[in-house]
């Protein structure tokens, strides 16, 4: 077994296989920046009960304790409630940076210089328009199509508009694809919104900033020039920053896994959008609002909480996180942001229900003992709704922001010499070999359903 890393780390694992009595030395990888350590799963492969055996694997459904990559982009300490992009605390970025600055930082590892930022902003602004055929494509969706289905399909369709995007090893193609995706996502998202509303599509206004332009494409009616409410523009900018990346979450893992086949980035990002759509991931912000609607009145909150604890199938949506076990630092920022937005739009009964849910859950032993705290999605839905976004559009907003992280992670994966096509192992639990004993009679040249006849 290669031992170079164990020397650097000064550590190794001694494993004795009780089946054979053989001892193995497994090197421990050198601690990374924040002390993360691991062993290489492939170093377990030589451990076998006999020569014919495949070798020892690790079994880790849902990747509870498996690092799938090395990454220098985002750091999370779930116990301490820390989130940093490229070393910068999320609180500082949310307060001081713009979303496009953060998108640059995520991709490039450093904050942009002024000329770099100006050029980056110019490029992204320049590419906000989408091919006119996209409008025809969108018209094919039903009036009540879920905007996440529309966005996912439309982003996938974009790869057919940019066939050269498949040349992922060409740095120029990679650059332009990244710019196109970041630039066009708000346009596509806004077009999905307008389609569902039956409103005409609004073209990008390249005099406006990234977030204000997005709001313009969503909300503009007859006014010749859109002017967003500055509090809403700032709130959305911060929410985009908070959602921009979150290391190896379900959708990022999907983008990396699909991208590892070396497909074009439009297809890989479409896979990320599909993963984000699920109610256990980005879809949770939408579910929080459905849950509050179901509760209906503040007086029903205790009974709802009891139902959750009794395992009646309901979860407290917007609570809990795979990684954060003390608090979600994004939720703190969002709560503060919500206070600012609600000063403008006023407090309604849904917010009162949310506050009561939070108050009871944070003092209830069921939630405290399981370390279930409000996550980022608990309050974002309320903010989005107060800005007049429909519930089923919330996850689309998340997707627009997360595109920055997906693309940075995708490119990091491509540049990582250790990465190959993602292909997990399995532990086969089905039948052993058995002989085929089928007894159906059918004509293989015809529809098998129609002609299958059981003797």
Which residue ranges make up the site for ligand CMC (CB under 6 A)? 246, 249, 280-282, 284, 308, 315-322, 370, 372, 375-377
Helix and strand counts by DSSP (H, E) for the chain: 19, 7
Taking the complex as a whole, the smallest distance from the CB of residue 133 to ligand CMC amounts, in Å, to: 33
CA–CA separation, 82 vs 282, rounded Å? 20
Taking the complex as a whole, the smallest distance from the CB of residue 358 to ligand CMC amounts, in Å, to: 12
| Residue reference for tokens 């906000």 | 128
Q: Which is nearer to ligand CMC, 147 or 282 (CB)?
A: 282
Q: Which is nearer to ligand CMC, 204 or 320 (CB)?
A: 320
Let me know if 416 is a catalytic residue: no
Let me know if 36 is a catalytic residue: no
Question: CA–CA distance from 350 to each of 240, 298, 326, 378 (Å)?
Answer: 23, 8, 25, 12
Residue 276 makes CB contacts below 8 A (sequence gap 6+) with 148, 250, 251, 282, 283, 395, 398, 399, 402
Taking the complex as a whole, the smallest distance from the CB of residue 147 to ligand CMC amounts, in Å, to: 18
State the CB neighbour count (10 A cutoff) for residue 374. Answer: 27
Q: Which residue is nearest to ligand CMC (CB)?
A: 320
| Residue reference for tokens 């070393």 | 87
- The stretches of 162-229 forming alpha helices (DSSP H) are 171-197, 210-219
Please give the biggest Cα pair distance in the chain: 80
Out of 43, 264, 350, 377, which one is annotated catalytic?
Answer: 377
Out of 321, 328, 350, 392, which one is annotated catalytic?
Answer: 321
Q: Which is nearer to ligand CMC, 217 or 255 (CB)?
A: 255
* DSSP letters for 331-390: HHHHHHHHHHHHHHH---HHHHHHHHHHHHHHH-HHHHHTT--B-HHHHHHHHHHHTT--
Task: Quote the distance between the C-alpha of residue 161 and its chain's center.
Answer: 24
Taking the complex as a whole, the smallest distance from the CB of residue 48 to ligand CMC amounts, in Å, to: 32
State the CB neighbour count (10 A cutoff) for residue 293. Answer: 11
Taking the complex as a whole, the smallest distance from the CB of residue 250 to ligand CMC amounts, in Å, to: 7
Residues belonging to the active site: 321, 377
């Amino acid at each position: 077994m290669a031992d170079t890393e164990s020397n650097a780390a000064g550590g190794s694992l001694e494993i004795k296989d009780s089946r054979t009595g053989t001892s193995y030395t497994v090197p421990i990888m050198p601690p990374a920046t924040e002390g993360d350590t691991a062993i290489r799963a492939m170093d377990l492969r030589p451990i076998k009960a006999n020569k014919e055996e495949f070798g020892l694997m690790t079994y880790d459904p849902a990747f509870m304790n498996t690092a799938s990559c090395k990454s220098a982009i985002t750091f999370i300490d779930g116990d301490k409630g820390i989130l940093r992009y490229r070393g910068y605390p999320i609180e500082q970025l949310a307060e001081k940076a713009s979303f496009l600055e953060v998108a640059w930082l995520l991709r490039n590892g450093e904050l942009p210089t002024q000329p770099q930022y100006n050029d980056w902003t110019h490029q992204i602004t320049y590419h906000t328009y989408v091919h006119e055929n996209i409008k025809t494509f969108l018209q094919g969706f039903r009036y009540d199509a879920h905007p996440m289905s529309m966005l996912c399909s439309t982003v996938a369709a974009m790869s057919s508009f940019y066939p050269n995007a498949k040349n992922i090893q060409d740095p120029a193609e990679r650059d332009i694809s990244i710019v196109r995706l970041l630039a066009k996502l708000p346009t596509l998202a806004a077009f999905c919104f307008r389609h569902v509303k039956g409103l005409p599509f609004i073209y990008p206004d390249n005099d406006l900033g990234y977030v204000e332009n997005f709001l313009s494409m969503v909300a503009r009616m007859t006014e010749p020039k859109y002017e967003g409410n500055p509090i809403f523009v700032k709130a959305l900018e911060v929410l985009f920053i908070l959602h921009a990346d979150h290391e190896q979450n379900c959708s990022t893992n999907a983008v990396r896994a699909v991208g590892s086949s070396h497909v074009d980035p439009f297809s890989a990002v479409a896979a990320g959008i599909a993963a984000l759509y699920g109610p256990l991931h980005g879809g949770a912000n939408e579910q929080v609002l459905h849950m509050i609607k179901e509760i209906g009145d503040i007086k029903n909150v205790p009974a709802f909480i009891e139902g959750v604890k009794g395992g009646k199938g309901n979860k407290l949506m917007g609570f809990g996180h795979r990684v954060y076990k003390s608090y979600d630092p994004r939720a703190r920022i969002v709560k503060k942001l919500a206070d600012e937005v609600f000063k403008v739009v006023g407090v309604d009964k849904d917010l009162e229900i949310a506050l009561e849910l939070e108050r009871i859950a944070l003092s209830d032993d069921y939630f405290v003992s399981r370390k279930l705290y409000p996550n980022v999605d608990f309050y974002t839905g309320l903010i989005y709704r107060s800005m007049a976004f429909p519930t089923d559009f919330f996850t689309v907003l998340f997707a627009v922001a997360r595109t920055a992280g997906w693309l940075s992670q995708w490119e990091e994966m491509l540049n990582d010499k250790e990465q190959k096509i993602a292909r997990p192992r399995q532990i086969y639990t089905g039948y052993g070999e058995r002989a085929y004993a089928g007894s159906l009679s059918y004509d293989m040249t015809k529809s098998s359903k129609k002609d299958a006849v059981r003797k």
